[in-house]
Structure 1
Amino acid sequence: MVNIEQLYQHYLKHPVICTDTRSITEGCLFFALKGDHFDANQFAEKAVEAGAAFAIIDNPDFAKGDQLILVDDVLSTLQELAKHHRKQLSIPVIGLTGSNGKTTTKELIRAVLAEHFQVFATKGNLNNHIGVPLSILSITNKVEIAVIEMGANHQKEIELLCSIAQPTHGLISNVGMAHLEGFGGFEGVKKGKAELYAYLSESNGFAFVNAANKDLIEMVSKAGVKNIIRYNIAEESTVQGVLKHSDPLIEFEWSFEGESHEAKANLTGTYNFENILAAISIGSFFKLSAEEINKGLADYFPTNNRSQLTKTEKNTVICDFYNANPSSMAAAITNLNSLTSTNKIAILGDMFELGDESAEQHLRIIELALKNEIDTLIFVGHHFDNAKGDANAHFFTTPTEASTFIQTQNWKDSLILLKGSRGMALEQLLPML
């Protein structure tokens, strides 16, 4: 058995980590992780044959040769290696979590800080107990500041991720009705997300807090964080802003230390304004100029199907189908209602991981959508179908069924919201719009 320091010496010589034999690169370290339906130990030898310098395994049956390194548990070893690497880094690390908008906020922060620093930011959705260690181990000595996204659907997960990422600064974008099944209701969501504040309190770190959000103010105060940077309030020493236009893209004015600045962002949705202010607050804290901040915001174009405005041959589509929960769904519907269009269409897919509240929350979204001025409402999924009652809208249990109906329509010059949980795979409807 090797210890972490010995393994770290291998990492320093071979700093690329792979966990999938399909993406082996020459000289990488292959970690043979196990899942519910796979055991990568059995592929470790193939990983070495494909070019991996070493394979880290936890099944002695596969320990054949010097290039296969046996440990007690591959996952915990990966996490411990990341912790060890993090301790060697003397850079600011911004930990980011939240129920809605955390990935968009991460990208905005990255775009702003990149105007002045060499920035590492979590790639894709590598924000869980495997993704965060992989992210930390991707930070090189050229990086000056890191932004680490942390996702969770149970309590104690953020606590674990903080122990790995060891953030010096932190931001909770918001708390909402997400992952209710795992967290055990909204109060459980607040408790789980507040684990970031608890870490910052214990480590004397800095928390960026939207002062207009009463839940966050309550949470950060309860956690006892001493270093709080508030934004979105009317005080000269804090970042504040006024939304001037959001139809369809956001234009606004922001101020800091008595100076006001006009700015634009390539995002739709009034709900994204708070995410923008968070990025401005962090940029201001790290001494970026207003010009640098505004350029970073203006140069960011969403490409991840989160609040992404897409022009098709016939219509304009708000692509927001990477994920969905009651809070983000309500915000998206309200935003669609506020936008100008001669024909508005909402195609809404099921929301997952709501547990016992699923039926009630799907019914609430149906009722909210019906109250808004939307010309055509389409609900997709078994959860919506079970909650429909006598609602005057179109209901389909699968995207395939919905596509049959959509192809009979002749929508042109319409504004279409396409939103649902990732598992609904609503992207398959985009070519028909």
Structure 2
Amino acid sequence: MSSRPVTISDFALWMGVEREIVSSLGARSLPDIWMDSRKITPGDLFLALPGEERDGHDYVVTALEQGACAAIVSSLEKIPGAFRDRVLLVHNPLEAVSAAARAYRRYLDIPCIGITGSNGKTTTARFLRTILEQNYRVGGTEGNWNNHIGLPLSILRLTGHEDLAVFELGANHGGEIFDLAEILEPDMGIITNIGYAHVGCFGGIEKTAAAKFELAEVLGLHQGVLYVNGDDSHSMEQMRHSAYAGLTMCTFGTSEAASLRAENVYCTSEGTYGFTYHGEDFHIPLPGRHFVYAMLPALALAESMGVDSDMVRSVLATLRPAPLRGEVRNTGQYTLVLDCYNANPSSMNAAFQMMHDMPAPSGRLVSISGDMAELGAYSDSLHRNCGAAAAEYGMEVIIHIGEFGAALCEGAMMAGMDQEVCHCFASKDAFITAAPQLLAPGDRILLKGSRASELETLIPFLTGEV
């Protein structure tokens, strides 16, 4: 259990509790808050959220019996009398906690950085935190808590000892980023790019761009600074057609139009990239050109906050790929590029480009892909576009497992690939059966798909472990 520089009484006041709490409870320091009763440890707070399938109020007694000091609830109906002196009654638990998170952020009064975009939020936040931690105590997003529930809880996890904090803002519908940014009230922001992730939920790429730039609207209210990908056409289009009063904007990228520019970009045989920034050389020991874009705003912010460039380089040297996010593994028979944590059109294109850029003496470029999720009515056309991108970046064999294989292969063939090297399968088992006729020693194989595709289950087969 962690404690914070405010009490449960302070927290209850911020939430607007509807009944008085006992003094012994109110005097406690604000502890960790969980919405999963299984994670409760003695002294924690339990957040009872109603849901479509489960109602958190059904687990209040369990959480209190496991040692929770109190539970945040909207009804006493399911709470036995013996436990009612250990509840914080509010009209809407999530709204109450969000209001308390905003109040706590104001109480701490430290610089906060908000990061959104279609791809690269977690990587950009990771780079930024790792670099800034050399000079500062840095807090931020807990795990993957970046949505309307996770962000308030992440803010409330700050201990009060941080010098600054870095938070991811995730969304799949319009209006959500605005609401999250209003809770966080960031001083600085980063929009990594605008792509087709969740485009089926947003309702189009223009609406996706408008949703991500809701961060700019809130930053403008606080005279904040926003870093935007200057090489991203959708971001630039949004900036051209919208006015954001009170906002300072900086662009980053590799083009001459970017004010924060990476120059002399090169790729190593491991797929890692190096570049020159403000006359100094940097190398990122992670495979993928997209890491250059994740690093640039981190470098700019680090520079503005006094982190020495030699220290930045020493930190970069320690970076390693997160599991399933660009790990390169040599099996003796194949070279595998394992990037199957997630997939959307932008990240697929980046992966194809990395495979193309990697210098190698021999071996075919092979793509094994799975369906990209949450594309809605755009699914066929965007899988078709990905097939075309695979062909344009020189992939020599395309293998797709899932519902949209025909569309992806069609796109590849329209871009000039032969039908004989384009293969689609309904299941992983079907691919495994055919694999001996499709793969050859020396192949460099990209494994890329959405989490729902579970392509990581193919790794033991491809490495010869089974």
- The range that moved more, 381-390 or 170-179, is 381-390
Query: Does the C-alpha gap of structure 1 residues 11 and 220 become closer, same or farther in structure 2, counting only changes over 3 Å?
Result: farther
Q: Which residue of 2 aligns with 1:350?
A: 371
- The structure 2 residue matched to 1:161, chosen from 180, 192, 196, is 180
Partner SS for 2:208: helix
Q: How much does 1:357 deviate? A: 1.3
- The structure 1 residue matched to 2:319, chosen from 267, 291, 300, is 300
Amino acid at match of 2:40: I
Partner SS for 1:348: strand
Q: Which residue of 2 aligns with 1:228?
A: 249
Q: Which residue of 2 aligns with 1:266?
A: 285
Matched, 1:51 2:67: yes
Deviations 1:278-315 (A, max 9, x none): 22112112121111222222222121422333444643
| Gap runs ≥5 in structure 1 | none
Q: Which residue of 1 aligns with 2:47?
A: 31
- The structure 2 residue matched to 1:40, chosen from 48, 56, 60, is 56
Amino acid at match of 1:184: G
- The structure 1 residue matched to 2:446, chosen from 414, 417, 421, is 417
Deviations 1:98-131 (A, max 9, x none): 1112211111111111121111232332111111
Q: Which residue of 1 aligns with 2:161?
A: 142
CA distance in 1, matches of 2:295, 2:249: 18
Query: Does the C-alpha gap of structure 1 residues 406 and 334 become closer, same or farther in structure 2, counting only changes over 3 Å?
Result: same
Structure whose alpha-carbon radius of gyration is higher: 2
Equivalent runs, 1:24-423 vs 2, <5 Å: 24-64=40-80, 65=83, 66-220=85-239, 222=242, 223-232=244-253, 238=260, 240-256=262-278, 260-312=279-331, 314-339=333-358, 340=360, 341-385=362-406, 388=409, 391-392=419-420, 393-406=422-435, 412-423=441-452
The answer as to whether partners of 2:334 and 2:441 remain within 8 angstroms in 1 is yes
Amino acid at match of 2:379: S
Q: Which residue of 1 aligns with 2:3?
A: none
The answer as to whether partners of 1:243 and 1:250 remain within 8 angstroms in 2 is no
The answer as to whether partners of 2:284 and 2:292 remain within 8 angstroms in 1 is no
CA distance in 2, matches of 1:238, 1:165: 26
Q: TM-score, normalised by structure 2?
A: 0.85
Partner SS for 2:139: strand
Q: How much does 1:244 deviate? A: 2.7
CA distance in 1, matches of 2:66, 2:269: 52
CA distance in 1, matches of 2:408, 2:233: 31
- The range that moved more, 306-315 or 15-24, is 306-315
Query: Does the C-alpha gap of structure 1 residues 198 and 6 become closer, same or farther in structure 2, counting only changes over 3 Å?
Result: closer
Deviations 1:374-409 (A, max 9, x none): 343210111224664584422112334334434777
Amino acid at match of 2:453: M
The answer as to whether partners of 2:48 and 2:56 remain within 8 angstroms in 1 is yes
- The range that moved more, 117-126 or 187-196, is 117-126
CA distance in 2, matches of 1:425, 1:12: 44
The answer as to whether partners of 1:113 and 1:119 remain within 8 angstroms in 2 is yes
The answer as to whether partners of 1:11 and 1:29 remain within 8 angstroms in 2 is no
Query: Does the C-alpha gap of structure 1 residues 240 and 11 become closer, same or farther in structure 2, counting only changes over 3 Å?
Result: farther
Matched, 1:4 2:14: yes
The answer as to whether partners of 1:305 and 1:321 remain within 8 angstroms in 2 is yes
- The range that moved more, 245-254 or 376-385, is 245-254
Amino acid at match of 1:369: A
Q: How much does 1:72 deviate? A: 1.5
Deviations 1:169-215 (A, max 9, x none): 00001111221111111101110011011111111111123334454
Deviations 1:51-80 (A, max 9, x none): 111111223212332113322122212212
CA distance in 2, matches of 1:355, 1:26: 44
CA distance in 2, matches of 1:236, 1:387: 33
Amino acid at match of 1:352: A
Deviations 1:29-49 (A, max 9, x none): 010122221111101100011
The answer as to whether partners of 2:252 and 2:258 remain within 8 angstroms in 1 is no
The answer as to whether partners of 2:199 and 2:208 remain within 8 angstroms in 1 is yes
CA distance in 1, matches of 2:258, 2:398: 44
Query: Does the C-alpha gap of structure 1 residues 195 and 49 become closer, same or farther in structure 2, counting only changes over 3 Å?
Result: same
The answer as to whether partners of 1:16 and 1:29 remain within 8 angstroms in 2 is yes
CA distance in 2, matches of 1:11, 1:294: 46
Partner SS for 2:404: helix
The answer as to whether partners of 1:208 and 1:282 remain within 8 angstroms in 2 is no
| Gap runs ≥5 in structure 2 | 1-8, 414-418
- The range that moved more, 86-95 or 339-348, is 339-348
Query: Does the C-alpha gap of structure 1 residues 405 and 104 become closer, same or farther in structure 2, counting only changes over 3 Å?
Result: farther
The answer as to whether partners of 2:336 and 2:447 remain within 8 angstroms in 1 is yes
Q: TM-score, normalised by structure 1?
A: 0.91
Give the number of equivalent residue pairs.
430
Query: Does the C-alpha gap of structure 1 residues 365 and 218 become closer, same or farther in structure 2, counting only changes over 3 Å?
Result: closer
Query: Does the C-alpha gap of structure 1 residues 308 and 31 become closer, same or farther in structure 2, counting only changes over 3 Å?
Result: same
The answer as to whether partners of 2:273 and 2:288 remain within 8 angstroms in 1 is no
Matched, 1:430 2:451: no
Query: Does the C-alpha gap of structure 1 residues 387 and 291 become closer, same or farther in structure 2, counting only changes over 3 Å?
Result: closer
Q: How much does 1:225 deviate? A: 4.7
Query: Does the C-alpha gap of structure 1 residues 237 and 421 become closer, same or farther in structure 2, counting only changes over 3 Å?
Result: closer
CA distance in 1, matches of 2:266, 2:353: 17
CA distance in 1, matches of 2:396, 2:332: 20
Partner SS for 1:253: strand
| Aligned sequence identity (%) | 32
Structure 1 residue runs of 4 or more that deviate by more than 6 Å after TM superposition: 6-9, 407-410
